[in-house]
Amino acid sequence: MSHFVSVAAGHIRDIFAGAIKRAPEARVVVIYDLESGLSQIVADGYREAVPDALCIDFAKTDAASILKLIDELSPGDVVVLVQSSSFRLNEFRIRIELYKRKLKAIEHVHLGRMSPDQYETWVETLAFDQAFLQHVGHGLKRELDAASTVKLIGKDTELVWEGGVEECKLNIGDYSGMENVGGTFPIGEVISEARDFTKLNGTIRIYAFAGEDFMVQFFEPFVATVVEGIIEPGPDAPQAFIDLVALIKASERPLVRELGIGLNRAITREKFLNDITAFERILGVHLSLGEKHGIFKKPGFNPAKTRFHVDVFPAFDRLEVDGKTVFDNTLDTNQILV
């Protein structure tokens, strides 16, 4: 465990210096639990990396004391949340309130979902791969923002976004010009969606998706068809996916909303993580099913009434933007070509 702590501490130092950009006078508060082996590793990593941090055991501290401490912090101070599940303080939405107070936030959630054999991979996801993340992140954004047609192409499938996609949002540890600093770590993602869902059509093969327990499930890649943004299981789809689409349909349309490009090179199909929040950063592409996608506001969608945002992971060979390959998934290295 001490090796993992030391590795985590090194990555945390890089995050504080390169992403969060902690000022010398800024206070740091780490709120943690000890309910999982991974949360203990991460909490100890923060102790080693930030020796002047105030560390608070969530289980041994009442909500009023935590809220009082947060109220006493100043803009630019840093709050870190290390959670085996997800902290609750009555109706107090912790990260939202931190941002309202102009505090910087680092959140690690659902650490209890990782099995011990995944601790090493999860710790490596914290590596702040700044040069890679920011070069390819901004490069993909530049290409996608200007795109007329985006294609996700597999050996026998092709999913096409005609009419382009929404202006991309970045989760790459570059908070320049942003109102809020920080977020949920691990990081590494370019996020968009179709401008016009009726112009999203084609087929994909899916190899993984999250179940109702938010744990990643793997399958032999199976076909799904998308017609005007709506997904339907193909003839070889497993019952679990058929049931998932039916569950979404009971409340809303099984719409393909998010187009996410993960950039975290520590995560692969072989070195995977159980928790969907972490696994979606895998170097590859993921899509979301259902009408819920809080990042993009569109007419006709009421965020208070949408329920489902289920990440699915397509097997693909390349991602094309106006005929140019920007992600070659058949190469061992240099997969992103921007």
pLDDT of residue 1: 56
Per-residue pLDDT reduced to its tens digit, 36-72: 999 999 999 999 999 999 999 999 998 889 989 999 9
What pLDDT sits at residue 302?
A: 87
Residue 284 has pLDDT above 90, yes or no: yes
Tally of CA atoms within 13 A in the half-sphere of 204 that contains its CB: 29
Domain's final residue, options 63, 93, 125:
125
Would you say residue 92 has pLDDT above 90? no
Domain termination site, one of 80, 106, 125:
125
pLDDT tens digit string along 292-301? 998 998 988 8
- Whether residue 186 has a cis bond before it, omega within 30° of 0: yes
213 sits in the region (left: phi over 0; alpha: psi -120 to 50; else beta) called alpha
d(CA 279, CA 287): 13
pLDDT at position 334: 59
Same domain? 172 vs 318: yes
DSSP-derived 3-state class of residue 140: helix
Strand order in the sheet with 54-57: 54-57, 28-32, 78-82, 104-108, 182-184
Q: Identify the pLDDT of residue 95.
A: 75
User: Closest by alpha carbon to 78, among 102, 111, 60, 51?
Assistant: 102
Looking at the predicted structure, is the pLDDT value of residue 91 above 80?
no
What integer pLDDT is reported at residue 207 of this predicted model? 98
The rounded distance, in Å, linking the Cα atoms of 37 and 25 is 32
Residue 337 pLDDT grade (very low, low, confident, very high; cuts 50, 70, 90): confident
Q: Is the pTM of this model over 0.75?
A: yes
Whole-angstrom distance, CA of residue 82 vs CA of residue 85: 9
Residue 59 and residue 104 in one domain? yes
Confirm whether 333 is domain-assigned: no
Q: Same structural domain for residues 91 and 222? A: no
Do 139 and 107 belong to one domain? Answer: no
pLDDT tier at 253, thresholds 50, 70, 90: very high
Q: Which domain holds residue 94?
A: 2-125
| Domain closes at, from 90, 125, 160 | 125
Higher-confidence residue: 66 or 123?
Answer: 123
pLDDT value of residue 336? 80
CATH number at residue 72: 3.40.50
Q: Domain for residue 337, yes or no?
A: no
Per-residue pLDDT at 304: 85
From 312, 327, 283, 282, select the one nearest 152 (Cα to Cα). 327
Task: Provide the pLDDT confidence category of residue 115 given band limits of 50, 70 and 90.
Answer: very high
Q: What is the pLDDT of residue 67?
A: 87
146 in the same domain as 74: no
Residue 208 and residue 159 share a domain = yes
**Among 123, 78, 87, which residue's Cα sits nearest to residue 105?**
78
295 falls within a domain: yes
Q: Given this model, what pLDDT does residue 303 score? A: 86
- For position 331, what pLDDT does the model report? 75
Number of domains comprising the chain: 2
Q: How many residues are there in the chain?
A: 338
Average pLDDT, stretch 119-146?
A: 97
Residue 63 belongs to some domain of the structure: yes
118 and 16 in a common domain: yes
